Structures are given as C-alpha cells and as structure tokens.
Chain A
Amino acid sequence: MNRFAELLDRLAYEPGRNNKLRLITAYFRDTPDPDRGYALAALTGALSFKHAKPGLIRDLIADRTDPVLFGLSYDYVGDLSETVALMWPKAPPPGHNNPPPPTLSDVVTTLRTLGKTELPKQLACWLDELDETGRWALLKLVTGAMRIGISARLAKTAAAALGDKDPHEIELIWPGLSPPYLDLFAWLEGRGEKPVNRDPAPFRPVMLAHAIEDSDFANLDPADFIAEWKWDGIRVQAVSGRDERGYMQARLYSRTGEDITKSFPDLLPSLHLPGAIDGELLVLREGRVQTFNVLQQRLNRKIVSPKLMKDFPIHLRAYDLLGDDENDLRELPFDERRAHLEKFIKKLDDPRIDLSPTIAFDSWETLMAARADPASAGAGEDADAVEGVMLKRRDAPYLPGRPKGQWWKWKHDPHIIDAVLMYAQRGHGKRSSYYSDYTFGVWTSGEDGEQLVPVGKAYFGFTDEELLQIDRFVRRNTTEKFGPVRHVVHEPDQGLVLEVAFEGLQRSPRHKSGVAMRFPRISRLRWDKPPREADRLETLERMLKDVTAN
C-alpha cells in the first residue's frame, strides 16, 4: 500500500503525460502480483466496494486527537483525508508481534467482504501500520475520493509498455479481464498466452476524430477520404452476441463504455443480429431527425415510460461496423468495413436502424459547399441536425482513442473576433514559468471615451513558438503587477491583438461585458494589427442575437 501510495502521490504532481506513463510502468515492473493488478484496477476505475462516509473518518480522529488541534489543522490543510493522514498518532515502535503494513491487495480484498460494523476497527488498524502517504491514499481509496488525474487509457498504455505491446491489444481483450489481471501481466511479461475475451456483447473502445484546421487540407488528398454528416445526437455502440447457452444478448454503450441499455429498451428488439455497430442515437419523428434539444428531453428522464418512448422515438444511425457475428472487423480498412456495414444494415432490415449516408465530393471546395449548405447536399430536411462533416480515411483501421491523421471532424465555422490582450497570468505545471493565461477585451464606449472591456480568458490554441513570443511580449510590456497577474499595455496604438476563436456565446450578468464565450482559444497572433482596429462589443452583441435567433 505504501508503494502504491507513493505512486499516486507522484502522479498527482507530475504534469507530463509521458512522464506519468514512465512512473506507472516503473511501478508495474517493480511491484509483484497481485498488488500491481489491483493498482491497475484502481487506476482504471475497476475496483468496487462500499465506500466509507467522511463521518466515520472524523469519528476515528476525534477519538485520538485534541479537538482544538484537529480544528486548527483541518483549517490549515483543507482536506479531511490529508489532515487525518498527517495527524494520525504514531503507532508504538515495531515489536516482534507487529504485522507489516497492509499491501494494496490486503486492503482491496478485505474491503470487499468486510461488514460495515467492522470497518472502523480495521481502518484504524491499517492507519496505525501505514506511513503518512500510505494513510492518505488509504483514506482517499476507502472514501471513494481518489482523483488521480489520469485516464484508464493511460494506465492501460503503461501496462502495455511493460511488455512492449500496443495498448490497442489490451483494449481489445480488456472487457474480458478482471482484477488482479494475473493473466494479463503473465502475457505482458511473456510468461503466458494472450487472454481471450469471453463477454458475448463487449464494449469496444471508441475511435475519435481530430478537429481539422484550414492548414491541414493542403496535405490531404480528397481521394483518400470518405465524408459523412456529423449528426448532433449521442455517439453509441450497439452490440449483440450469443452467450454460452445460445441466447442473444444486446447492449447499448455510451462512447466511454458506460452501459446505457436500460434507458433505451425500445431499441433492443432491433438489435437482433450478432454484431457491433458504431453509430449515433437520434430521435426521429415521421422520418425526420430531430435536433439535439429534442433528444435531450428524453435523456433527462429517470423513468422510461411507454409515453416517453412513443413521444421520442429512438433511432440508431450507423456509422461503422466493428464486429460481424464472430468476426472482428476492426483491423480492416474503413471502406471495407463500410461495405460490411451496408450489407449488415440491409440484412437487419429494421426501420429503427439506418445507414449514415455518405457525401459525394471530388474536391475540398465541393465538400466545403456541402458543409455550408447540408440541405442541398443530401441532408434535406434533416439539415438542422447536422453539426458538420466527418472525414474518414478510406484505409483507416478502427483504432481506439484519437489516432493522428485518420478521422477528422469539420465543424461549422467557429466564431472569430479580434481582441486585445489586457492581462496575463502564469500557467500551471510545465507552463508555470510562462505567462500563458490571457485575459482579452474588445472596445466599447464608456464614460471616458473608448475603452477596452474584458470579454474572456484563453490559455489554448497557440503553438509553443507563439507562447514564447507572447511571454516575451508580456514581460517587456508590463504596466503593473498584482501577485501572479501582470497588466499588459493595451492602448489604441500599443498592445497585442489576438484573434480569438470560440464555440458559442451566452449572456452573462456575471461578466462586466454582459457576454460569456464558450471555449475561447487563441487562433492567431495579429502582430500586424493595431489595437484600435480590434473588434467592438457591439460585434459580439450582434453575434449573440444571431445565436438566439437560430
């Protein structure tokens, strides 16, 4: 447990992805079974036991410390588990009867079967045996408050590195595995066969797309790609398979692998052929795709009543076929999978499931025109439910995660304005030595004439080189310093204009400007533009009207 705690502690401070991977892999290499397997389970969220309530922890510490000292300490530290971990009285020095500190396996296996009344005593006993970091990790684990800041994907990638395997291979067999993953580690270390997946309807990790930038098109050949509409519903995976007794099992998963079958019983009868469809869940009324807002009304309900199913008829639009009966199609190129999908949907012959249509195009210009006007390019009356265009390489296998250069999403144009840099703040982690958080503003008429009013904050979108340039600009043009914040010169003829792209606008009484941007990011540095030529608040207000009018 102490060693696992040390890993968690270090991961919590390490900002770099590759460095996190190295730390986790080193842990897997140095830690014996079954401890490392339970660690992998903890890191991937695969552990389950009843969590202890914070009140229980408070009672334990109250029995052992002065309440005034505890109060002062808790105020200072600000976190219950950490305060208790640090304050827990030292156990008597180890005698020959003292047990060694518990391992992670001891903790996990004990917690699985421990009765509620035995928990406080057991916990106290472990807290006596562990060191400060060990106690902290134990308390986070038992209260279910462990936030490690790494994804399950990262933990699996670290495990794969142990055996020099492709993490994709682990993803493929993952649904059939369970803690402490002895067979997995045996395979990774070359001591055993590759485990096989025995779940009749397993989830397959989803493939995701990158947002395409204008500059990307120069290097892409239209002939290499198939285009489809990006439908504004929810991405799902519909899987059917026969269990050992030959019964058909059908399940619906969210794109993160959460089982959402129960919310859509009306779709299950349609999943009557063994296979795995990647598609979009939509609401269709009289054959017309409804907007996301309509779908959302169905999603928000706890109880799925017959009336709800009738008023919001659910539909699956199929993008891809990952499995056809016993055959795993994921290694095939997309155009071959697409051919399988077309056959599969035809054979299925069900009104609730249809094929996502492709968009015919021979150049990026034609596709751009289609994207600008989906209604005339085949989407017809469903155009309102189109969010943009998807581009998929014809030769792309189905890879989990967001592999580079395979799939692209080309959404509607983001909103863009030119704003003036007003304040800069140091970033976090790797960026802590740079001014990388920027507050920007646009012009408005105030009592003292023209003035800049802050409209948003951005800390993404620029390249490393641009970051260095802005950082240098900030340091050389600081007018005032307030703690970590620098005021940067922003006069009509002096200052830096930032081109800011954003996804949407909302009215916001909390902001001085009255508007709030969604996902603003720096899209370009306009060294060429004097601040006086930056946009005005009225431009944003006009955009806001357009948004609400739609």
Chain B
Amino acid sequence: MTTKHRTAKHRKQTAYIGGMRPQDILMPVAAGLCCKPGGFHIDPVRPVERAVITHGHSDHARPGHGAVLARQETLDMMRLRYGDNFARSTQAIRYGEEIRLGDVKIKFHPAGHVLGSAQIAVTCKDTCIVASGDYKDAIDPTCTPFEVVPCDVFITEATFGLPVFRHGDAADEVKKLLASVALFPERAHLVGAYSLGKAQRVIALLREQGYDAPIYLHGAMETITRYYESRGIALGELCAVKGVKKADLAGTITLAPPSATSDIWTRRFPDPVTAFASGWMRVRARARQRGVELPLVISDHADWDGLTATIAATGAGEIWVTHGQEDALVHWCQARGLAARPLDLVGYGDEEEHEVVAADEAEA
C-alpha cells in the first residue's frame, strides 16, 4: 500500500547556526506561511506580493497574488479555474530544480497528492524545512509518487490524523464498486468524488481493474478531467452525462462532485446507487450522515500509518502539524521524543467538504 520510504539520514535536533531558528525562516501569519528571509508566502490564503504554491486545490491555490511560483500543472489549473489574469506574473518550476529567493534556496519535491502537487523544501544556511502541503504516500496512477525529503523541520498536514484512519488498498474499493455494478445492472452508479484529483484517480483505478466501458462525467468535472488527459494521463472513453437518456444510464458509472450526489440532479439516473470516494468513508457515521449507500475508502491524503511513517522517515527532529486532527499527531510525535506543535493556520481544510457546485453546473 505505501511506497518504500527512502532511508533518511538522521539529523539531531540542530543547534541553529547564526541564531537562525526555524520560526525565523518560516512563520505562520494571517496570510499563510510566511518566509521572511525569502520574501514569499507558501499557499497564501490572502493576496500577497510573492506566492509559492504547493498544488492546485482551491484552498491552497488562490487568485490575486503578484508573482506565483509553482509547478506548470498547478499554474495551468489556476488558469483554468480563475482565468488568464489570476496573477501578475508566473514562473514554473520542475521537481528537483533549485531556485534562490532572497536568502533562502527552495526546491520542489513530489507530494503524491494530485497531479503537479509538491512539497517545498526551504533551506536557509544549514537548516532545512519541508512544507509538504497535502500529501499521500499511497500509489496513485495519476501523479508522480511521493518522495521522502530528509529535513530538520517537517511541516505535515493532519487531515486524517487519527489512528482510526487507515485507508487500505484503493484497488479493493474499486473492486467493491465494480461488484455492485455487476450485481445491480439496472441501476446507475453515481460516484461522488472531488473534481480535481480524486475523480481522475478513481477513473484510472477503474481502468486498471479492466473496466473499459465509457465513464460518464458531471459537467463540473469535464474541464479538469480533459486537462489531466492533455498531460498524458490515459483515462479511457469519457462522456458527458448531460443529455443522456435515463434508461441508457442503467449499468453505467458516473463521476460527480460530492455535493451533486445528494441533489435533485440525481433524479436523472435510474434508481442510483450513490457511492462516495473519500477517506472519510472509513467512519460509518460519516458515511451515513451523507446518505451514502456505497462508501469507498479512497483518499488523496496520507492515512495515519502514512503520516507517522513519513514523519519518522524524514528524520526531522521537529514537527509542525497543520490543518486537521493536530492533537493526536502532536501527541504521537511527543511520545517519540520529537519536538512537535500545532501550527495555527486557517483557511485550509478538506477540499471535499468545501466543493460547491454552482447551480447551473448542478443542473447541467
């Protein structure tokens, strides 16, 4: 389930040279994570002069900044969502490429979260901090695999930061979906999946299982899915669900944004089985709350085992924990003698909970 972690050379809790403490390099402020010596913010939630962006999800990649440095895919996704003028200037960076900004050097490494997602290593003098954004260490055919980056301070997300979140093999979940399609050939299967990343991953997983029938798409996810294809990710035959006759949707699979699967939009499907692909589906009450009939535990965030294994593998002596279940992860780190603290950053969350489909798209 998890990719092999590169063995990291263990660094002792560093005596920081020249009085440079980690919090002097990166520091949480209202606009996001601020790097003063480098003159930039990482994933700022408010417009800033210079932004460095980990990935294209809307809570991390926002419009209105001066200069934006990011992976080409992330810049493209922002352009698709916000239009051509989403920033004054942009600069693309490759994985492994090093760029100097002010007094720091930064380097992008794959985060395995969605297409183009990156961890950002910020090095100032001898201290290296890795801001990992959102990440997962599970295999995903639609993006470059996660890479462990040895560092002194590791900034980790904690979306699924409780030991009850163990996500298992996504292929098994897709098999569950296909078994249901086989058992109920007269019903439509409607899979709620976040439009950017999750949907394409589910499609790719279905293709890996040998499912080669056309897969239908809700209007809101066509553009981004076509973009994935343009980046060389093969997703097989895809059709817009708009305009397809109800009876013709029997026995088919349609991908839709999560909010659409509980809306009147679903009435166009014959007796739909509503599935939802999300790490949250691991907890039954969560699935029932959403009226899901077929929960599929497929997550684009690391699960508990992934978070803890990654933290250990980076060799970092200090861990900063953001957005999610910080308490449990901080406790886990401290119990292992690591300096750990929650980083109070606001504005990030689980993208699935926030995806809102505009009314015209919902009716599409």
A residues at B contact (CB < 8 Å): 6, 10, 12-16, 19, 22-23, 26, 65-66, 68-70, 72-73, 76-79, 82-83, 86-87, 90, 131-132, 426, 428-429, 432-433
Contacts and interface: CB of A to CB of B under 8 A. Distances in A.
B299 to A, nearest CB: 14
Contacts of A68: 328, 331
**Which of B162, B184, B325, B327 lies at the interface centre, i.e. has the most chain A CB atoms within 10 A of its CB?**
B162
Q: Determine chain A's interface SS by DSSP, over half rule.
A: helix
A18 to B, nearest CB: 9
A87 B164 contact: yes
Contact of B291 (A6, A90, A429): A429
Contacts of B271: 16
B246 interface: no
7 contacts: A10-B294, A66-B335, A76-B164, A79-B284, A79-B285, A87-B164, A426-B262
A238 to B, nearest CB: 42
Nearest to A472: B264
B183 A86 contact: no
A289 B95 CA distance: 88
A6 B331 CA distance: 33
B39 interface: no
Contacts of A82: 164, 283-284
B162 A72 contact: yes
Given A13-B293, A26-B183, A86 B331 contact: no
B266 interface: yes
A69 B333 CA distance: 12
Given A132-B282, A432-B262, 7 more contacts: A19-B187, A65-B163, A72-B331, A87-B164, A90-B305, A433-B263, A433-B266
Contact of B164 (A13, A16, A77, A90): A77
**Which of B176, B288, B291 lies at the interface centre, i.e. has the most chain A CB atoms within 10 A of its CB?**
B291
A160 B332 CA distance: 52
B293 A69 contact: no
Nearest to B187: A19
B325 A72 contact: yes
Interface in B157-200: 162-166, 168, 176, 183-184, 187
Given A76-B283, A79-B285, A428 B291 contact: yes
Interface string B303-339: 0010000000000000000000101100110010000
Contacts of B249: none
Contacts of A87: 163-164
A86 B295 contact: no
Contact of B163 (A13, A14, A73, A432): A73
Given A14-B293, A68-B331, A78 B285 contact: yes
A370 B310 CA distance: 80
A23 B183 contact: yes
Contact of B162 (A73, A90, A131, A132): A73
B166 A86 contact: yes
B181 to A, nearest CB: 13
Nearest to A18: B271
Interface in B249-304: 262-264, 266-267, 271, 282-285, 287-288, 291-295
B123 to A, nearest CB: 33
B139 to A, nearest CB: 18
A86 B262 contact: no
Q: How large is the interface on B (under 10, 10 to 19, 20 to 34, 35 or more residues)?
A: 20 to 34
Nearest to B292: A13
B282 A86 contact: yes
Nearest to B271: A16
A197 B291 CA distance: 42
A66 B266 contact: no
Nearest to B161: A72
| 6 A-B pairs closest in CB distance | A432-B291, A86-B164, A73-B164, A72-B328, A13-B293, A87-B163
A72 B329 CA distance: 11
Contacts of B292: 13
Contacts of B288: 13
Contacts of B165: 86
Nearest to A65: B163
A69 B263 contact: no
A433 B267 contact: yes
Contacts of A13: 287-288, 292-295
Contacts of A6: 176
A249 B51 CA distance: 86
A10 to B, nearest CB: 7
A19 B184 contact: yes
A465 B122 CA distance: 62
A76 B183 CA distance: 33
A307 B177 CA distance: 63
A433 B164 contact: no
Contact of A69 (B163, B284, B294): B163
A233 to B, nearest CB: 39
A433 B294 CA distance: 16
Contacts of A432: 262, 291
B104 to A, nearest CB: 36
B285 A15 contact: no
Contact of A76 (B162, B168, B184, B264): B162
B285 A77 contact: yes
Contacts of B164: 73, 76-77, 82-83, 86-87
Nearest to A10: B294
Contacts of B295: 13
Given A23-B183, A132-B166, A433-B267, A69 B328 contact: yes
A90 B291 CA distance: 30
Interface string B215-234: 00000000000000000000
Nearest to A12: B284
Interface string B96-126: 0000000000000000000000000000000
A26 B67 CA distance: 58
B60 to A, nearest CB: 25
A257 to B, nearest CB: 30
A16 B271 CA distance: 10
A12 B295 CA distance: 11
A90 B305 CA distance: 10
Contacts of B305: 90
A149 to B, nearest CB: 11
Contacts of A131: 168
A223 B168 CA distance: 65
Nearest to A78: B285
Nearest to A15: B293
Contacts of B325: 72, 76
A34 to B, nearest CB: 24
Interface string B57-90: 0000000000000000000000000000000000
